[in-house]
Amino acid sequence: MGMQLQEILYSQGFGTRRVCMGLIQQGRVKVGLPGQLCTDPYAVWDVTDLHFEVMGESWTYQAHAYLMLHKPTGYECSQKPSAWPSIYTLLPAPLRQRPQGAASGVQAVGRLDQDTTGLLLLSDDGRFIHRLSSPRHHVPKVYVVTCRHAVAPDQVQRLLDGVVLDDDPKPVKAAACEALGSHAVRLTLTEGKYHQVKRMLAAVGNRVEALHRSRIGSISLPDDVLPGQWRWLSPQQVSALTGKG
C-alpha cells in the first residue's frame, strides 16, 4: 500500500500534518534501509515493512500499535494520574500521539494499581482492546501474589471454590491457584473486578503485600523486559491473543 510520506509520519504520531511536512522539508527524515534522505512530503512510499528515521529516531511503520510494557511500581494506568506518574510517560512520544480513532495514542488493556507490577498490554486498536477486556472472552491473567501471612492449604482451596466479595453475592473463583513457598501463591483469574486479587485474599483471611502480573492469555512477560521497558508484540503474539492464529 502506498502513502505520502507526510501521511506516514502523521499516522505514526510524529505530530500534526503541518509539523510532519516541516520535518520532511527540513531534511530530518530518511526512508528505507539504508536511510535515504527525502525532502518531498508528497512522495509516495510502500508502507509494507517500511523503515524510516525521524531526527535520528528509527521507526518501522505499524498500521496499529500492539505493545507489552513491564509496569513498575509507583505508576498509574491513567492519562490523567492523580498522585503518581502516568505509565504513558514511559513510552516514546510517537506512541502517545498516534491519531487513531476517537482517542489519541495507545491505551492500556485494563489497568494495574500503582503498587502492582508486571505485564501490561497497550494498543490503539479498539477491537483488540475490547477482545482482551471483555469478560465474556475469559482471557486468563496470571498473578504472583506475595502474602503477609503464611498461606494455608484451606486458603488455596477456598480461592478455587470461590469467595464472596462485598459488592457481588455471586462467588468469584480462581481459575487456578497454587502455593509458591510459604507466603506466596500463583493465581489465575479470567475476570477483572476492582482490586480483585487483594479482595479475594482478604476474603480468605490473608493480605497482599506485593502483586505482580506475569501472564495475559498466551503472553508471558519476558525476563529481559525490565521494569519500565516496553516492546512491540510480534504478529504471531497478536494472533495468539486474538485467537486468529
- Only one residue has cell 509507583, namely 74
Enter the DSSP assignment of 202.
H
Cell of 232: 512491540
The dihedral sign for the CA sequence 149, 177, 193, 71:
positive
- 169 C-beta neighbours (distance < 10 Å), count: 7
- Residues annotated as catalytic are 113
Which of 186, 164, 170, 161 has its CA nearest to residue 135? 170
The two beta strands, 29-31 and 36-37, are: antiparallel
Do residues 145 and 211 lie in contact, with contact meaning Cβ atoms separated by under 8 Å? yes
Which of 196, 175, 198, 195 has its CA nearest to residue 187? 175
What distance in Å separates the CA atoms of residue 40 and residue 130, rounded to the nearest whole number? 38
Q: Tell me the sheet residues that pair with 178.
A: 186
